[in-house]
Chains A and B, each alone.
Chain A
Amino acid sequence: MKHFDVYRIISVSLRTGVILSMVSIISGIVIIMVNGGADGYTLAQIASYSKSQTLYSSLIPLNNLFTGMYQLDGAFYVAFGLWVLIFTPITVVVIALISFIETRNKLYIALSSCVLFVLFFAMLVVPHFLS
């Protein structure tokens, strides 16, 4: 059985996640500046701190994430970058789970599955109660 270095894989995936997300966020902001707005909002609105005017997370339709990116809409690039960032630590748990499966450590397979369950509960179930 091929042994794999969990620490190294975790380190590399964390770094890749941060870099990918930073690149996406920065390009999104540049596109927003160049286009003078995004997702139907003007530049002034996007930069505003007022909750009644500005563009905040729940207003961005995630279903259109890739269409938005294809249409070179900056807001979707920022949103993509932020979601890559949110998913980055989750990959760590997945990698840990794989390593526990490899060593057949039942207790830790259960514990890491538990963590993943709570994570996806927060992402998929809780939002339904919020809206």
Chain B
Amino acid sequence: MYELLAIILKFISIVFGGILAGFIGSLTGLGGGTVLVPLLSIFYGVPIVFATGASLISTIATSAGSASAYTKEKIANIKIGVGLEVATTIGAVVGSLLTVYLDHHALTWLIYVIFGIVLLGSLVPAVKRGQSELPPHTRPDWTTRIFELSGKYHDARLKKDVDYNGIRWWLGEIIMFFAGTVSGLLGIGSGALKVLGMDWAMNLPMKVTTTTSNFMIGITAATGSSIYWYSGYIQIFIAAATAIGVVIGAYFGAKALVKITNKDIRWIFLAILSFLGVEMIIRGFVTDKIFFMVPLIQFSISIVIAVVFIAVLYLHNLRRLRSVEAL
């Protein structure tokens, strides 16, 4: 009886971790997995492959959950999404096989380190997010015509219909291949890379980018998940708990996102994420005994580096905002 109670509590504690991850993930726009993997591996002591496995499954759940809401508004572009999925799914196969290779060759510390680097790297575009709603006007190129990359949606906030032309489809595909690889390797949606591919490479409006990326994340994650399944990376107890938790968290995160008027609150979460990123890198080296460090010192170093990192981003952002205002 006592044992049953302890296990129920353990389950609930993982669900709670999932809620937290889903909440922060949807508030910062980075997705639940980005928070979930470090949370599970650092604070719950879950082996990294089980953490990425649970995360990939949870990523499908949140993507499907929020995409069902987004597609109703008809902003997500299905043609662009499906076209780019060719590259992300191939990338996901490569990425998840890479994880299997690293796991079999006792190189899992590399997964921690790459995860940390990707996490810190994706904070940079997350900071810039939501500042320029519409892309600069460019002339359609040959891919616009062949791949039918033009579209139109109604922007409720700008109160007008927005016409857009996607360009450089091939460049989008190349970036999406890497987005898929990262997704399969680390068990995350890699929304930041997907947004980069559509926003920067294909010159699509932010709304189209985020909604289409959300719709694509599920398909990419499904590809990686089946390979994870047969490799035994999905521990059912953990995956069940996180899937439930992340769905709940993402739901409340999306609600909160609409209500929060003070955008500076995001900085607190970005700071937490940068701490997790640095901690993952250090943890990778410590786990494989490349060097030894007492947890307390480990945390202190992570906090210091994270604070410096986020301060630099904050100041940089402030300066850019000022120069925009000056214009």
* Residues of chain A having any CB pair with chain B under 8 Å: 6-8, 10-12, 14-15, 17-18, 21-22, 25-26, 28-29, 33, 36, 43-44, 46-47, 49, 51, 54-60, 75, 78-79, 81-82, 85-90, 92-93, 96, 99, 105, 107-108, 111-112, 114-115, 118-119, 121-123, 126-127, 130-131
Contact = CB atoms under 8 A, between A and B. Distances in A.
A44 B85 CA distance: 40
Interface stretch (B24-32, B235-243, B253-261, B281-289): B235-243
Interface stretch (B5-13, B117-125, B155-163, B303-311): B5-13
B63 A11 contact: no
Contacts of A8: 72
B213 interface: no
Contacts of B82: 93, 96, 108, 111-112, 115
A58 B232 CA distance: 4
Interface residues of B, number: 67
Given A14-B68, A126-B227, A118 B90 contact: yes
Interface string B92-118: 110011001000000000000000000
Interface of B: 3-4, 7-8, 10-11, 44-47, 50, 53, 57, 60-61, 63-65, 67-69, 71-72, 74, 78-79, 82-83, 85-86, 89-90, 92-93, 96-97, 100, 146-148, 215, 218-219, 221-241, 243-244, 247
Given A15-B68, A118-B93, A82 B223 contact: no
A86 B226 contact: yes
Given A51-B47, A88-B64, A89-B63, A131 B230 contact: yes
Q: Which 9 A-B pairs have the closest CB atoms?
A: A89-B218, A58-B232, A57-B234, A14-B68, A127-B230, A118-B89, A15-B68, A123-B226, A89-B219
A58 B239 CA distance: 14
